[in-house]
A and B are shown apart, each in its own frame.
Chain A
Amino acid sequence: MINAIGISILLVYMIILIAIGVYGAKVSLKTSEDYFLASRNLGSIAVFMALFASNITAFTIIGHAGFSYEIGYGAYGYVIGWSIFITPFTYYLVGYRSWLLGKRYGYATQPQVFGGIFNSKLISLLFLILLLYYTLPYLVVSIIGGSLALSTVTEGLVPYWLSALIIIGVSLIYTLPAGMRGTVWTDIFQGTLFLVVAIFLLSAVARALGGFSEITHQIVLDNPAMLERGVSPELAPINWFSYAFINSIAVIVFPQIYTRILAARSSINLKRVSLYYPLALAVIFGVSTLMGVWGSVAIPGLAGKEADNIVPLLIHQFLSPFWMVVGLVIVLAIVKSSIDSQLLAVAHLLTDDLFPRLKKITSQQAVFWGRIMLLVFAAIAYYVALIQPAAILSIAGFAFSGFSVMLPVMIGSLYWSRANKYGATAALVFPAIMLHLWYLRILPQWTTFGFMPVFPSFVLAIITFVVVSFLTPAPPPDQSKKTFGLFDRVFK
């Protein structure tokens, strides 16, 4: 299946990644801030591609295409519609104020920013625990999804265990020596690659199926339900509304996304990212949606998980082996660009926020321990991806919702000077417990009033934050002034 040209393409791709890692390590400074934040000196393109490539996972090209195969064109608006606007908006709403605090006080992670706002080690610890708790299962699921995709695209030539090893191993090649600089440079390369190639791939599939208009008219004739959102029970308005509180607003809470915002050089860089982000999201998910829907008439009859293979199947049935290699490279690029940033974010959180609680370490020692943590967590993630324990997969099932219900505390802390650490503590813990009770079906489903559990949990987080803050003493004026004094000087 993969001929000499294919192997050459794969080799060139790998060599570019390794070269980026080697060069990145050469120009890196031996400081923690440089290793984990690229010295807070990322330009517009670097921040844009770093955020975009970290945001796009195997789900985009595999899971979303499969969902579109089953649901139709409505999958586009359901999965990514609200994200197109709200994700870049949260980069302004939460990202910019956090960036200002990071630049002014040297904060590098969420535990530092929000622990710093409330001058509370408990808030810092809660952020650390919750972020690790939700990120680790998400990381494992990303590896599982990516490895399955790679195995599928190669038609089993590369078995699952080897796919996982390749994905993690290649990610480490550039992340380990070059830290964030390595992941960002490869994100620029890989993000551009999958964005551009995905469009070419779509055109090639369209040509093979008789052209854009021809395939759509066939859908209108054979399966008109694919055009209508109203006929799908999964897209019921209450689900559509609830889903707006899952993936779209969770993105800014992901530590790998939040840290990259703190690494921007200037305010102008963040503005450019927020401005053009909607188009990039719309394009990549737009391609995936069309491939899925077209697949429903080109290769009908796939059910359940089989539908997730629709993109590899379309390539295999309608395009030349060359495109199979191109598809393989896209899958690798998409999967690795999100996994490397997650691994680095986990190592960063532990090195910057857990180790200093146990022992004082220098900036150079932090780099050393950061690399050790990367290796340790890569090994753990690989092992867990192989055995796939039910408990981890169960948590991953609502990890996005878990991130989302942390957002009210992040927004409130940055906009409401009366907010205090008691309100923040309660609003982090209580909704997280409720979310578990609902998702693990300990509470009856009717208690969510028909919404997905994320929505009532989100509302509970807001109410808890406001009520507990009002019922407990206001924060000391000096503490508020540290944060809001800075904001008052900027937002005039």
Chain B
Amino acid sequence: MTFKTRFIVVILIVAVMFILHNSFWLWDLDSQVPLLFGFMPFAYSYYVGYALLSLLAMKVIIDLAWPDPPEDVTEQFTDKEHSKQ
């Protein structure tokens, strides 16, 4: 898969996360869903779940489209002694 294709997947992940943040159609559940762990209403626990999903999304993005600089690039860094992985 080329970087361009992988980056399109990244953009799709961002779009999904944005839609999940603006999920107004779920707001009716605020008054209907029982408290999670006895103290977390839906409007709150949704974003606890969203934080965990964000961690997962960042993991996928990092694995998919965040390459480390190759050695021929780090060799040209102005502070190359610090930049080796």
Residues of A within 8 A of B (CB): 33, 39-41, 72-74, 76-77, 80-82, 84-86, 88-89, 92, 96, 100, 103-106, 212-213, 215-217, 220, 224, 227-230, 237, 240-241, 244, 265-268, 271, 274-279, 281-282, 286, 289-290, 486, 489-492
Q: Are B48 and A286 in contact (CB under 8 A)?
A: yes
Q: Which residues of B contact A81 (CB under 8 A)?
A: 21, 47, 50
**Are A77 and B46 touching (Cβ within 8 A)?**
yes
Cβ contacts A to B, 20 pairs, < 8 Å: A40-B79, A73-B41, A77-B47, A82-B18, A82-B21, A85-B17, A89-B61, A100-B73, A104-B77, A106-B78, A216-B38, A227-B42, A229-B30, A244-B22, A265-B82, A278-B55, A289-B44, A290-B44, A489-B69, A489-B73
Please provide the 3 A-B residue pairs with the shortest distance between their CB atoms, ordered closest to farther.
A282-B51, A212-B39, A213-B38
In the complex, which residues 43-85 of chain B have their Cβ closer than 8 Å to any Cβ of chain A? 43-44, 46-48, 50-51, 53-55, 57-59, 61-62, 65-70, 72-74, 76-79, 82-85
Residue from the list B30, B51, B59, B84 in contact with A275, Cβ < 8 A: B59
Q: Which residues of chain A come closer than 8 Å to B84, judged between CB atoms?
A: 266
- The verdict on B8 contacting chain A, using a C-beta distance below 8 Å, is no
> Once the chains are docked, how many angstroms separate the CA of A160 from the CA of B57?
44
Q: Is the CB of B47 within 8 A of A92?
A: no
| List of A residues within 8 angstroms of B14 by Cβ | 86, 89
Task: A274 to B55: give the CA distance in the assembly, Å.
Answer: 8
Nearest Cβ distance between residue A16 and chain B, in whole angstroms? 27
Contact status of A92 and B42, CB under 8 A, knowing A227-B31, A489-B73: no
**Is A77's CB under 8 angstroms from B38's CB?**
no
Residue from the set B22, B46, B54, B69 with the largest chain A CB neighbour count within 10 Å = B54
- Interchain CB contact under 8 A, A72 and B43: yes
Q: In the complex, how many angstroms separate the beta carbon of A79 from the nearest chain B beta carbon?
A: 10
B35 sits at the interface (CB 8 A): yes
Contacts of A40 in B (CB 8 A): 79, 82-83
B37 to chain A, nearest CB (A): 8
B50 adjacent to A84 (CB under 8 Å): yes
Q: A182: shortest Cβ distance to chain B, in Å?
A: 19
Cα of A265 to Cα of B68 in the assembled complex, Å: 12
The answer to whether A274 and B42 touch across the interface, beta carbons within 8 angstroms, is: no
A216 touches B39 (CB 8 A): yes
List 10 extra interface pairs beyond A76-B47, A278-B58, A490-B69, CB under 8 A: A40-B82, A76-B43, A89-B14, A103-B77, A106-B78, A227-B41, A237-B24, A244-B18, A266-B85, A491-B7
